[in-house]
């Protein structure tokens, strides 16, 4: 084999996926980068003194793909503070409301955008296409503030014969303990209810161990004492009740047995009386923000096709006819920028309405035209008459309705007929009336010129 025959075939192996996102030999997935290709003596391997080609086996070139997507800049809502940290390929932001303002619903602890989210903000969804952050609204004072405190005795149910007795004993104990609370003695709060629980459930009907307990409700009027006074007064009352439960003041003697409060069995829940369009949050009421409305004690997002540009509302406005929104939580009519396609049902309804309206109009027009035509014909052809005196001479005056008159100077002879005042012609032989159309034809009045 000659040297020429032993030379190997060399090929450039081009990188695959140049325009792809994860091309094997492309250094980046977007923007500017490099691409490389290599060659090798592999088909066949060098033999019989064959030499490799001179030069590098690898070529590197600069390439440019589509521009890389970047995280959009967030717009800080009014009455709030947005803090962001940019760590390499990820931006993390935290949104906090200013003092005296709060969110009307639960929000994310942080907002993230970067390589892991394909450079979309993690809260930018189909329902939130513009990537709007939640709004902060100014808090308002409630009408009243309540706290419900519950605790349980180590007593499993009440005997049928002693249910009333036990309930009376528990009620008396709780009322006595409540009168010792600081907020009660200072007239800041009052006991609005005191209920015994689980005592009326028979032991035989129990599937699980259920203890007899109580729930006491304490109430403070915030319009009289203020929010802070009520909040801290009720908070201190709960602490005092827990101290009484850990001592002996609430022990319940019954049938020579002393029942105690089960340790760590107590719980407390607070609630507020808020005005319509607001939700309770901690010690204040928060009006529903723009893009939301109040329903069933929570602020709901305005659905697609609706918007709300005011706070504390119980409804959302509908977009103008033929328009809708791209997502939910819309805040103005400017968001109603998506035309709504007309459905086939609406097309059918429009056609039916058009037909129903046009038919009566056409009928009325036809009737009017017919009446006008008939009236014109009557005045021109039928409403003709003249007066005739006793000697069969014609009177040359028109009556009030405009009956035509005959010029007496032109009357020579009237053959076989004479004319009456009512406009009819009578045959002179049998007195048979002839219709007006016959009466005024040239054949019936020959040579008489009609002037009116």
Sorted by where each starts, the structural domains of the chain and their CATH numbers stand as 3-64 (2.20.100.10), 80-138 (no CATH), 144-273 (3.30.70), 387-451 (no CATH)
pLDDT computed for residue 377 by the predictor: 63
CA dihedral of residues 268, 273, 279, 282 (deg, nearest 10): -40
* Rounded-to-integer distance, Cα 432 and Cα 44, Å: 131
pLDDT band, very low/low/confident/very high, at 344 (cuts 50, 70, 90): low
- Identify the residue with better confidence: 71 or 368: 71
Of the candidates 147, 144, 165, 263, the residue with the CA atom closest to the CA atom of residue 215: 147
pLDDT computed for residue 171 by the predictor: 93
The SS3 call for residue 308 is coil
pLDDT computed for residue 66 by the predictor: 80
pLDDT band, very low/low/confident/very high, at 441 (cuts 50, 70, 90): very low
pLDDT computed for residue 64 by the predictor: 79
pLDDT computed for residue 406 by the predictor: 47
Contact yes or no for 279/137 (Cβ under 8 A): no
What proportion of the chain, given as a percentage, has pLDDT over 70?
72
Contact yes or no for 122/111 (Cβ under 8 A): yes
Radius of gyration of the chain (CA): 51
Give the least confident one: 102-111, 156-165, 196-205, 394-403: 394-403
The SS3 call for residue 444 is coil
Give strand pairing partners of 34.
Answer: 62
pLDDT computed for residue 322 by the predictor: 92
Mean pLDDT of the chain: 79
CA distances from 363 to 131, 209, 351, 357, 367 (A): 57, 84, 18, 11, 6
pLDDT computed for residue 433 by the predictor: 53
What residue ranges in 9-167 does DSSP mark as E strands?
9-13, 32-43, 58-64, 80-87, 90-97, 101-102, 111-114, 137-138, 144-152
Question: For residue 215, is pLDDT > 70?
Answer: yes
Question: For residue 178, is pLDDT > 60?
Answer: yes
pLDDT computed for residue 202 by the predictor: 53
C-beta atoms surrounding 45 within 10 Å:
9
C-beta atoms surrounding 7 within 10 Å:
15
List, for residues 226-243, the tens digit of each pLDDT value.
999 999 999 999 999 999
pTM: 0.60
- Identify the residue with better confidence: 434 or 182: 182
Question: For residue 245, is pLDDT > 70?
Answer: yes
Residues 6 or more apart whose Cβ sits within 8 Å of residue 185: 179
Give the pair of three-digit tokens for residue 69.
């997507």
- The pLDDT of 235-254, averaged and rounded, is 92
pLDDT band, very low/low/confident/very high, at 362 (cuts 50, 70, 90): confident
- The pLDDT of 133-151, averaged and rounded, is 96
Report which DSSP code applies to 380: I
pLDDT computed for residue 5 by the predictor: 39
Give the least confident one: 92-106, 150-164, 388-402: 388-402
Listed ranges 9-18, 49-58, 341-350; the one with the highest mean pLDDT? 49-58
Question: For residue 390, is pLDDT > 70?
Answer: no
Give the pair of three-digit tokens for residue 178.
């409540």
Longest dimension (CA), the chain: 154
Question: For residue 450, is pLDDT > 60?
Answer: no
């Amino acid at each position: 084999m000659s040297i020429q025959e032993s030379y190997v075939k060399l090929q450039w192996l081009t990188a695959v996926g140049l325009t792809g996102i994860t091309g094997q030999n492309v250094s980046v997935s977007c923007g500017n980068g490099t691409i490389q290709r290599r060659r090798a003596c592999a088909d066949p391997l060098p033999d019989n003194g064959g030499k490799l080609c001179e030069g590098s086996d690898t070529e590197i070139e600069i390439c440019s793909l589509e521009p890389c997507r970047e995280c959009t800049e967030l717009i800080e809502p009014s009455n709030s503070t947005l803090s962001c940290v940019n760590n390499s390929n990820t931006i993390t932001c935290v949104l906090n409301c200013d003092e005296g303002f709060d969110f009307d619903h639960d929000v994310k602890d942080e907002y993230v955008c970067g390589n892991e989210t394909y450079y979309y903000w993690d809260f930018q969804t189909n329902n939130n296409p513009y990537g709007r952050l939640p709004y902060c609204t100014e808090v308002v004072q409630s009408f009243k503030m309540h706290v419900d405190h519950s605790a349980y005795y180590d007593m499993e149910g009440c005997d049928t014969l002693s249910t009333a007795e036990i309930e009376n004993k528990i009620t008396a104990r709780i009322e006595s303990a409540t009168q010792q609370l600081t907020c009660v003695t200072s007239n800041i709060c009052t006991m609005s209810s005191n209920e015994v629980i689980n005592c009326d459930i028979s032991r035989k009907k129990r599937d699980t161990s259920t203890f007899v307990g109580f729930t006491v409700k304490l109430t403070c009027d915030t319009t009289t004492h203020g929010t802070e006074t009520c909040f801290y007064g009720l908070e201190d009352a709960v602490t005092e009740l827990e101290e009484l439960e850990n001592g002996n003041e609430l022990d319940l003697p019954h049938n020579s047995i002393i029942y105690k409060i089960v340790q760590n069995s107590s719980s407390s829940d607070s609630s507020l009386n808020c005005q319509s369009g607001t939700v309770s949050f901690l010690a204040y009421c928060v009006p529903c923000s723009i893009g939301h409305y109040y329903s069933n004690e929570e602020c709901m997002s305005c659905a697609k096709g609706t918007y709300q540009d005011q706070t504390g509302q119980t409804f959302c406005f509908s977009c103008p006819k033929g328009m809708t929104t791209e997502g939910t939580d819309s805040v103005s009519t400017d968001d109603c920028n998506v035309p709504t396609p007309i459905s086939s049902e609406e097309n059918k309804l429009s056609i039916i309405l058009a037909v129903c309206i046009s038919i009566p109009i056409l009928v009325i027009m036809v009737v009017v035209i017919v009446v006008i035509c008939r009236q014109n014909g009557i005045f021109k052809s039928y409403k003709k008459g003249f007066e005739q005196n006793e000697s069969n001479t014609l009177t040359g005056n028109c009556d009030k309705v405009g009956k035509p008159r005959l010029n007496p100077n032109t009357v020579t002879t009237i053959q076989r007929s004479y004319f009456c005042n009512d406009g009819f012609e009578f045959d002179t032989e049998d007195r048979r009336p002839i219709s007006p159309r016959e009466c005024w034809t040239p054949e019936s009045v020959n040579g008489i010129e009609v002037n009116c």
